[in-house]
Amino acid sequence: MNELPNAPAGTALEVDILVVGAGPAGLFAAYYAGFRGLRVAVLDALSEPGGQVSAMYPEKAILDIAGFPSVKGRELIDRLLDQAAPYDPVYLLGEQAQTITHTADGRVVVGTGAGCRVTAGAVVVTGGIGTFTPRPLAKGLDFLDRGLSYFVPDLSAHKGRDIVIVGGGDSAFDWAVHLEPVASSVTLVHRRDKFRAHGATVAKVRDSSVRILVNSDITAVRGNGWISEVDVHHKPDRTTTTLPAQSVIAALGFTADLGPLTEWGLRIENRHIVVDTRMRTGVSRVYAAGDITDYPGKVRLIAVGFGEAATAVNNAATELDPGADIFPGHSTEQEN
């Protein structure tokens, strides 16, 4: 991933469109705003772009992106960044959108926790599920970033290690699949004997060298500065097994909330922002797109978010310039 033009803390910006959320929908919104000739900034609480894709499954193959039979999460984000790059979006990463006000002429002013102030003609909120926090592995907290992690942004960091993955959902099994070829060993520990992960992925893990321990919990994590071993308690027979482990990956799910967005006057139902067919939120010049939105018949797919992002930007563009066409023409009509 190329270095992005990230604005320093305390920056004051004036743009046409501020995109709040740098996941796939947000990055496509940045491209589309640029395509329409609009100045754009992208703000995200995470320190790198990509949202959940970058944080949770950068190495996972995504199979439902139009035109890509299979594309890894990291590659998808890189391509979206490349697509937006010719239009020079400004990135404010590691910044949480907090306050919102309006100027006398109707523009939107968003303040961040680090003191940035962005004045925009319109805002497009593409915040996914909001701010998400991993559920902790209580017995391993002393080893956070010293063997214990909650995400796997780089498979090579675990090469040659004995790895213990804790959890029974899609992330746990996906990481087991992708780490098994590079690890010395992989053991998956789950507190029940039923899994939430997709059946095909579970079958793939069962057919691999990954050891699966069910009805089991991690009861101790030990090491001298870095994790070296864990104790696994087996509930049915009340025995304990000690496993070598230089990496423990806790895939226990996460909690999510919309944070300060709940104070913006948006209509929020079941932790989602209700929008109309133009992606308007009901707050002046504030639109939304992607997984964070809700309306009758909503389908939460990245592909749907792309379409919603284009809809939001096009409608915002006509609000900024009532004489503009809502449809700017096809990209193929532009001269190369």
Bind-site residues: 44, 52, 57, 97, 132, 291, 332
Bind-site residues for FAD: 44, 52, 57, 97, 132, 291, 332
CB neighbour list of residue 328: distance below 8 Å, 6 or more residues apart: 35, 36, 314, 317
Closest CA to 132 of 4, 44, 28: 44
Which residue carries 């087996």 as its tokens?
Answer: 234
